[in-house]
């Protein structure tokens, strides 16, 4: 009887629930709170399915694009197309060739794209085999009207890489860019200077940083890891050695073979690292994360004084060498630097790297307080 009175006091709209998700609109009617909760549960599952479907469609689009690129490559292998090989053709073939190796970062692909865009804008559909050294010098001088000489030289280094890559694969008979000289770099060289202990403390104690940036700098100063390595840490990469019980970062992907390594977690940051839900920047690409980190760093560090995120690596190595001057090869393994060939053969090939306990002893000695 009480429920009937209540129902009489309410309009039909009070028992209707409406929810819109993208192109879909859901409307349902309910009589009881339990029925309402049941509908919500079903709605949640439906939304998940719709999101999954959208993700699947995005993946399908990517695969379709890859198939198109592969098709273009196969076409490009035909003699008729070789005779008309342009920078449009070279870009397609070069990028897919690099992707198959899976050794190139997203930021490097972006740099490739920037240089190819300038090449296509300047040479249009001109055949690469028709270009001589004077043509490439004209391209270099054209770039110098847009950007500083150092950037021009960076673009030209990529151009030489692209053209050589195609020439090695017999896509055109000559490599006429190799003899193009670099422009004089008029920008003053900024010497790299390691951080002082006080500067490290200022960075680590800066209260206005969001937690993800605090954690990034904390890990960098205690491991010497590269910024992209830190950005790519996942929860599964935090492991514990069964024999020694030492926790470590298991870095499986890096810009070099030496970068694939096990880095012990510093005693001062272990408790914090075990609390973090990795990755630190789940919503950002590698490139976006690195730019954001650098912007935050420059809130504390003055730009133009030769100090960057990469400076953390040099500072960390400096502290390790100061405490363990005879153990450079072990320190190189910690930070992912290539060792000398003789040591590399003995340690990496036969011993499969240095023991975690040795690396941890050196790493734990680093302090900025």
CA distance 369 to 350: 38
Q: Look at residue 37 in the predicted model and tell me its pLDDT.
A: 63
How is residue 236 annotated by DSSP? Answer: G
Give yes or no for residue 7 having a pLDDT over 80. Answer: no
Q: Which of 21-30, 106-115, 207-216 has the lowest mean pLDDT?
A: 21-30
Cα–Cα distance list, 265 to 112, 152, 250, 270, 295 (Å):
35, 41, 10, 6, 26
Give yes or no for residue 322 having a pLDDT over 60. Answer: yes
Helical residues (DSSP H) of the chain, grouped into ranges: 2-9, 33-76, 79-82, 87-101, 106-123, 133-144, 149-168, 197-204, 211-223, 227-231, 270-275, 286-297, 311-323, 328-335, 341-344, 356-364
| Every domain range in the chain assigned CATH 1.10.150.130 | 82-168
Give yes or no for residue 309 having a pLDDT over 70. Answer: yes
Q: Which of 203-207, 253-257, 332-336 has the lowest mean pLDDT?
A: 253-257
The CATH number assigned to the domain with range 82-168 reads: 1.10.150.130
> What is the tens place of the pLDDT at every residue in 61-92?
545 555 555 555 444 443 334 557 899 999 98
Max intra-chain CA distance, the chain: 95
pTM of the model: 0.54
Tell me the two tokens of residue 22: 């993208």
Q: Look at residue 254 in the predicted model and tell me its pLDDT.
A: 77
| Every domain range in the chain assigned CATH 1.10.443.10 | 197-364
Q: Look at residue 11 in the predicted model and tell me its pLDDT.
A: 41
Arithmetic mean of pLDDT over the chain: 81
Give yes or no for residue 137 having a pLDDT over 60. Answer: yes
Tell the CATH topology of 197-364.
hpI Integrase; Chain A (1.10.443)
């Amino acid at each position: 009887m009480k429920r009937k009175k209540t129902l009489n006091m309410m309009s039909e709209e009070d028992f209707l629930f409406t929810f819109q998700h993208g192109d879909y609109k859901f409307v349902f009617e309910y009589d009881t709170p339990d029925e309402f909760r049941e509908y919500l549960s079903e709605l949640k599952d439906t939304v998940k399915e719709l999101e999954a479907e959208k993700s699947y469609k995005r993946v399908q689009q990517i695969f379709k694009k890859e198939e198109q690129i592969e098709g273009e490559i196969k076409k490009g292998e035909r003699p008729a197309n070789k005779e008309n090989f342009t920078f449009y053709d070279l870009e397609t073939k070069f990028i897919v060739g690099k992707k198959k190796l899976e050794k190139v970062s997203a930021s490097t692909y972006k740099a490739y794209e920037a240089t190819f865009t300038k090449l296509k804008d300047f040479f249009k559909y001109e055949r690469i085999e028709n270009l001589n050294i004077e043509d490439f010098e004209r391209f270099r001088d054209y770039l110098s009207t847009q950007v500083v000489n150092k950037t021009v030289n960076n673009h030209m280094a990529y151009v030489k890489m692209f053209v050589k890559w195609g020439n090695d694969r017999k896509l055109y008979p000559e490599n006429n860019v190799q003899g193009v000289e670099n422009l004089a770099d008029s920008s003053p060289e900024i010497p790299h200077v390691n951080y002082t202990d006080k500067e490290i403390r200022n960075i680590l104690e800066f209260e206005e940083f969001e937690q993800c940036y605090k954690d990034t700098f904390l890990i960098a100063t205690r491991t010497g890891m590269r910024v992209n390595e830190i950005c790519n840490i996942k929860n599964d990469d935090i492991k514990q050695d069964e024999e020694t019980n030492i926790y470590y970062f298991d870095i499986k992907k890096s810009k070099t073979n030496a970068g694939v390594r096990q880095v012990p977690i510093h005693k001062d940051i272990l408790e914090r690292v075990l609390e973090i839900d990795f990755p630190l920047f789940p919503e950002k690409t590698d490139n976006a994360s690195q730019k954001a980190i650098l912007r935050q760093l420059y809130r504390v560090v003055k730009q133009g004084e030769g100090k960057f995120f990469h400076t953390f690596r040099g500072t960390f190595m400096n502290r390790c060498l100061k405490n363990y001057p005879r153990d450079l090869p072990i320190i190189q393994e910690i930070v992912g630097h290539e060792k000398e060939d003789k040591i590399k053969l003995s340690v990496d090939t036969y011993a499969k790297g240095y023991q975690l306990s040795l690396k941890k002893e050196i790493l734990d000695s680093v302090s900025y307080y």
